[in-house]
């Protein structure tokens, strides 16, 4: 090799190495900066002490939501006592890393403590208990939790479009069972009194497409907006099974809700895949999963009022899909069990970066 060629090759190598070290791939939260999209993950506080968990979370996301730590059974374990320790840890973590926090959830029919469900309370007593719960929890996080899922999954699966029978509505309910969804209205008003700045969401499962359930929610939200009930948004959970997502219908649905003047948040996205005994999915499915993440992100980005995309966890190491499906399904999230980015991650990252 001639001297000139040798010097050229060495110089080129040094340049490439330096360039490679200096240019790091953009994270999700960096890629989301252009569009202003909030990009979130549901979080389990016990895992925050795991270095890879904490560093991935802080690097990639600009929003967090406690997966279980704000549910009644955790935060209100006894009639007279609240336990904010787990949720406080998550809020502290978010503050240290410049992240917003969504609160989930104030009113639900699941994960309620026995003292409540077996307490044989009258409607009057239940109303007092619920008002105190909402005001105490929202008040504790006033100015720290920017958006709340005030009511979760109030509409029924088996009788589409109808309200579910729950301890809050009619078993025995807070005294408003005869008045349709007015018990939900009461909850939004209590939450608003406790933190007038917080954005208040109605959150629902299997209502992401146009269907009888989302029709019923749409009618309720339109009515709330017309009468000045303080509602700011609707959360669509987006737990996707069978690798099937009717993206055109999802986009139309997001469009009709944002046209009411409320925001839409995708609140609990995951795309469950069939897995082997080690929890691994096959490469074709991982690619199809990536396509779904990309299409849903594009649908959200195409509506100005769709302001957040959140996944239900972020690493396949910790996801509710495993226990929920008796471990036949899994691999539903953006990072694998070793915190390596999956095709779904790159699909979402590149879709965000393109805006």
Residues 66-95 that bind ligand XIL (CB under 6 A): 67-68
193, 135 Cβ separation under 8 angstroms: yes
Residues 91-150 that bind ligand XIL (CB under 6 A): none
Q: Which of 60, 65, 153, 204 is catalytic?
A: 153
| Nearest residue (CB) to ligand XIL, 60 versus 67 | 67
In the complex with ligand XIL, the residue whose CB is nearer, 109 or 355, is 109
Closest distance of CB 122 from ligand XIL, Å: 28
Min dist. Cβ of residue 312 to ligand XIL (A): 6
Q: Shortest approach of ligand XIL to residue 68 CB, angstroms?
A: 5
Instruction: State both tokens at 347.
Output: 């699909």
- DSSP alpha helix (H) spans, the chain: 3-22, 28-31, 51-60, 72-75, 85-96, 114-117, 123-140, 182-194, 212-227, 247-258, 283-301, 320-324, 343-353
Given 27, 35, 56, 152, the residue binding ligand XIL (CB under 6 A)? 152
Query: Among residues 60, 67, 185, 268, which one is catalytic?
Result: 268
Number of residue whose CB is nearest ligand XIL? 320
State which residue, 68 or 170, has the beta carbon closest to ligand XIL: 68
From the number of C-beta atoms within 10 Å of its C-beta (0-12, 13-18, 19+), residue 283 rates as: exposed
307 near ligand XIL, rule: CB under 6 A: no
Site string for ligand XIL, 255-294 (x = CB under 6 A): -------------x--------------------------
Nearer to ligand XIL, 208 or 268 (CB): 268
Phi, psi of 306 (to 5 degrees): -90, 105
Rounded CA-CA distance 115/79 in Å is 7
Calpha distance 170→297 (Å, rounded): 37
Annotation says 67 is catalytic? no
311 is a contact residue toward ligand XIL (CB under 6 A): no
- Distance between CA 339 and CA 316 in Å, rounded? 8
Q: Whole-number minimum distance, CB 198 to ligand XIL, in Å?
A: 18
Q: Which residue lies nearer to ligand XIL by CB, 202 or 345? A: 202
Please, what is the angle between helix 247-258 and helix 212-227, to 10°?
10
What whole-number distance in Å separates Cα of residue 25 and Cα of residue 345? 12
Burial-class residue 32 by CB neighbours within 10 Å (0-12, 13-18, 19+).
buried
Question: Which residue lies nearer to ligand XIL by CB, 70 or 198?
Answer: 70
Closest contact distance (angstroms) between CB of 130 and ligand XIL is 18
The reply to whether 118 belongs to the active site is no
For residue 206, the number of C-alpha atoms closer than 13 Å in the C-beta half-sphere is 12
Largest CA-CA distance found in the chain, in angstroms, rounded: 93
State yes or no: residue 237 binds ligand XIL (CB under 6 A).
yes
Report the interface residues with ligand XIL, using CB under 6 A: 67-68, 152, 205, 237, 268, 320
Q: Give the residue numbers annotated as catalytic, written as ranges.
A: 153, 268
């Amino acid at each position: 090799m001639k001297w000139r060629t040798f010097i050229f090759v060495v110089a080129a190598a040094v340049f490439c190495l330096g360039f490679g070290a200096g240019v790091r791939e953009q994270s999700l939260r960096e890629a989301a900066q252009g569009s202003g999209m909030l990009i979130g993950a549901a979080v389990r506080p016990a895992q925050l002490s795991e270095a890879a968990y904490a560093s991935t979370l802080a690097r990639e996301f600009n929003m967090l939501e406690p997966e279980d730590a704000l549910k009644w059974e955790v935060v209100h374990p006894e009639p007279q006592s609240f336990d904010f320790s787990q949720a406080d840890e998550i809020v502290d973590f978010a503050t240290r890393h410049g992240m917003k926090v969504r609160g989930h959830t104030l009113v639900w029919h699941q994960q309620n403590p026995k003292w409540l469900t077996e307490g044989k309370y009258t409607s009057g007593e239940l109303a007092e208990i619920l008002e105190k719960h909402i005001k105490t929890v929202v008040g504790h996080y006033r100015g720290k939790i920017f958006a709340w899922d005030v009511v979760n999954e109030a509409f029924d699966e088996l009788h589409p479009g109808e309200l579910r029978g729950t301890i809050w509505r009619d078993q025995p309910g807070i005294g408003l069972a005869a008045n349709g969804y007015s018990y939900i209205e009461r909850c939004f008003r209590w939450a608003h009194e406790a933190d007038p700045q917080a954005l208040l969401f109605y959150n629902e499962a299997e209502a992401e497409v146009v269907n009888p359930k989302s029709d019923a929610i749409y009618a309720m939200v339109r009515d709330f907006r017309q009468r000045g009930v303080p509602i700011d948004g609707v959360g669509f959970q987006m737990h996707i099974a069978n690798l099937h997502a009717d993206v055109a219908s999802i986009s139309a649905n997001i469009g009709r809700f944002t046209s009411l003047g409320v925001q839409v948040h995708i609140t609990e996205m995951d795309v469950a895949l069939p897995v082997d005994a080690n929890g691994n999915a096959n490469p074709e499915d991982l690619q199809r999963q990536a396509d779904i993440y990309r299409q849903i992100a594009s649908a959200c980005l195409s509506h100005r009022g769709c302001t957040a995309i959140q996944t239900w966890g972020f690493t396949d190491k910790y996801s509710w899909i495993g226990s929920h499906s008796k471990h036949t399904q899994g691999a539903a999230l953006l990072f694998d069990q070793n915190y390596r980015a999956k095709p779904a991650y790159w699909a979402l990252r590149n879709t965000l970066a393109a805006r």
